[in-house]
């Protein structure tokens, strides 16, 4: 088989960027998509190319089903295939449940859950034809516990939905050599949270430290590998035992 091609949503910064750089260093052509982080996306692509890798950044609002499908078709046209889809995009906001707006409520589902379906549906035919594929989506630690989350309710429900969708896709796609898995981070120093907030959380993490983006990279690289060919429908906690 030729080169593996990856599409990474939310690949301009944080965990998505780290995954993109790692895969590119291993020879994967990588397409990152972004919605608002144009500068960071450009810097990520420059970093990929600076190390001799192949990368491109595409502006795409994956909450739009037509745009999401268009992204996949564009990559397939330019690079011939999509072997791995990594769903890293997952914006959130904190707001008390009864103060949440209808627009804010819908935005959490439109940006965290629905794109996983849109994009998975778009990459599936090509993966089925080649009898190989990997889909990895990011949920969140505690999403499998269905606990009350008064300040993150819609985001949390969407991330719980990602777990259900992951298992359903795994069942449907397993006969075709395609695995579908979820990664559920706890506190990861990805550049999005204030350092002081992360430091305050250390005492609540049994492992005793905050995770880094390379911890996420290691898990994703395993799930994309041949060694993980029999791992599908899994939810891997990436939290140092926090939230379990």
List the structure tokens of 79: 């690079």
- CATH code for the structural domain at 6-238: 3.40.50.720
List the structure tokens of 27: 């020879």
The Cα–Cα gap between 128 and 119 comes to 14
Per-residue pLDDT at 191? 81
Give the CA radius of gyration of the chain: 17
Of 201, 197, 211, 216, the C-alpha closest to 240 is 211
Q: Tokens 């209808």 belong to which residue?
A: 102
Per-residue pLDDT at 34? 95
The Cα–Cα gap between 59 and 34 comes to 5
In order along its 244 residues, the chain shows pLDDT tens digits of 458 999 999 999 999 999 999 999 999 999 999 999 899 999 999 999 998 999 999 999 999 999 999 999 999 999 999 999 999 998 999 999 999 999 999 999 999 999 999 999 999 999 999 999 999 999 999 999 999 999 999 999 999 999 999 999 999 999 999 999 999 999 999 887 778 888 889 999 999 999 999 999 999 999 999 999 999 999 999 999 999 9
Task: Give me the phi and psi of 122, to 5 degrees please.
Answer: -75, -35
Query: By the 8 A CB rule, do 59 and 38 touch?
Result: yes
Per-residue pLDDT at 2? 54
Per-residue pLDDT at 1? 40
Query: By the 8 A CB rule, do 10 and 16 touch?
Result: yes
**The three-state (H, E, C) secondary structure of the chain, written as one string:** CCCCCEEEECCCCHHHHHHHHHHHHCCCCEEEEECCCHHHHHHHHHHHHHCCCCEEEEECCCCCHHHHHHHHHHHHHHHCCCCEEEECCCCCCCCCHHHCCHHHHHHHHHHHCHHHHHHHHHHHHHHHHHCCEEEEEECCCCHHHCCCCCCCHHHHHHHHHHHHHHHHHHHHHHHHCEEEEEEEECCEECCCCCHHHHHHHHHHCCCCCCEEHHHHHHHHHHHHCHHHCCCCCCEEEECCCCCC
211, β-bridge pairs: 188
Domain ranges of the chain: 6-238
The Cα–Cα gap between 76 and 8 comes to 14
Of 241, 120, 147, the C-alpha closest to 185 is 241
């Amino acid at each position: 088989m030729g080169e593996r091609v990856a599409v990474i949503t939310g690949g301009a910064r944080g965990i998505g960027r780290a995954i993109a750089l790692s895969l590119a260093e291993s020879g994967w052509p990588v397409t990152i998509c972004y919605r608002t982080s144009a500068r960071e996306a450009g810097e990520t692509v420059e970093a990929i190319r600076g190390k001799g890798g192949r990368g491109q950044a595409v502006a795409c609002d994956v909450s739009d089903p037509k745009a999401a499908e268009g992204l996949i078709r564009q990559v397939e046209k330019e690079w011939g295939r999509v072997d791995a889809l990594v769903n890293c995009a997952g914006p959130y906001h904190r707001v008390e449940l009864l103060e949440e707006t209808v627009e804010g409520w819908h935005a959490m589902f439109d940006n965290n859950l629905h794109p996983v379906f849109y994009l998975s549906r778009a990459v599936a035919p090509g993966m089925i034809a080649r009898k190989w594929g990997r889909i990895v989506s990011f949920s969140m630690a505690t999403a499998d516990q269905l606990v009350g989350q008064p300040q993150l309710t819609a985001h949390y429900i969407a991330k719980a939905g990602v777990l259900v969708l992951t298992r359903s896709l795994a069942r449907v796609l397993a006969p075709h050599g395609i695995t579908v898995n979820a990664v559920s981070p706890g506190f990861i120093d990805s550049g999005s949270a204030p350092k002081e907030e992360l430091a305050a959380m250390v005492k609540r993490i049994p492992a005793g430290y905050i995770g880094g983006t390379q911890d996420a990279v290691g898990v994703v690289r395993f799930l994309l590998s041949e060694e993980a060919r029999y791992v599908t429908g899994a939810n891997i906690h990436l939290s140092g035992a926090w939230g379990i």
